[in-house]
Structure 1
Amino acid sequence: MAPSVLASCLWVLAASGTAMLPMRRQMVPGLLLLATAPVLMVWMAAQVGWWAGALAFLAFLSMFRRPFGALLRWARGRTA
C-alpha cells in the first residue's frame, strides 16, 4: 500500500474521531484536518494517480460540506 493511501486512511479515522467530539472541541482538530487535506490529496495524486486524488477531493468535499456552506454564506454576508 502506498504511504499516501495509508496516511489518508489515518486522516479519515482522525476526522471520524473529531466528528464525535462536542462541537466546542472540534475547532482545533478540524482546522488541522482541513489544512492537511490538500497536502494528502496532492501526495496521493502524485503517488497513485490523478483519479485517486480526484476521489479523495470528492470525499473531502462530502465530509466538509456544511462548513464550506457556512463559509460561503458568511463570505456573501448572509447569516441565515
Structure 2
Amino acid sequence: MSLSLVLACGWLVLVNVVGMFPSKRNHWPQAYALIALGVPILIYLIYQHGPWAGLIFLAAAMSVLRWPVIYLGRWVKRKIGCE
C-alpha cells in the first residue's frame, strides 16, 4: 500500500473520529483544519494513483464533510445568480 493511500485512509478515519466528539461551535474550526490537511493528501493521491482514485477520495471526503460543501454550493449559486 502506498503512502498516499495510507494518508488518505488515515485522514478519513481522523475525520470520522473528530466528528464523533461534541462541539459547541458545530465543528467548523475542525472542518477548516481537516480541509487544509486533506487537500494536499488529495493532490498527492492523484499524483500517485491517478484521477479515479482522487475522485473516490474526494467523494468520500465530501460525504463526511458535507456541510462545507453545501454552503459552498449555496455561495456559488448566489454569486452566479441562479436563485
Provide the C-alpha distance between the structure 2 equivalents of 1:50 and 1:23, rounded to a whole number of angstroms: 34
Provide the C-alpha distance between the structure 1 equivalents of 2:70 and 2:55, rounded to a whole number of angstroms: 20
Provide the C-alpha distance between the structure 1 equivalents of 2:8 and 2:29, rounded to a whole number of angstroms: 19
> TM-score, normalised to structure 1's length?
0.77
| Residue matched to 1:52 | 53
Q: Which gives a bigger RCO, structure 1 or 2 (Cα 8 Å, sep 6+)?
A: 2
Instruction: Give the drift of 1:68.
Output: 2.3
Provide the C-alpha distance between the structure 2 equivalents of 1:7 and 1:14, rounded to a whole number of angstroms: 10
Instruction: Give the drift of 1:67.
Output: 2.7
5+ residue gaps, structure 1: none
| Residue matched to 2:18 | 18
State whether residues 44 and 53 of structure 1, in contact with CA within 8 Å, keep that contact through their aligned partners in structure 2. yes
Provide the C-alpha distance between the structure 1 equivalents of 2:31 and 2:17, rounded to a whole number of angstroms: 10
Q: How many residues are matched? A: 76
Identical positions, percent: 28
5+ residue gaps, structure 2: 79-83
Secondary structure, counterpart of 1:5 in structure 2: helix
Structure 1's 65 and 44: CA in aligned 2 closer, same or farther, altered over 3 A?
A: same
Q: Is the deviation greater in 27-36 or in 50-59?
A: 27-36
CA-atom RMSD in angstroms: 2.0
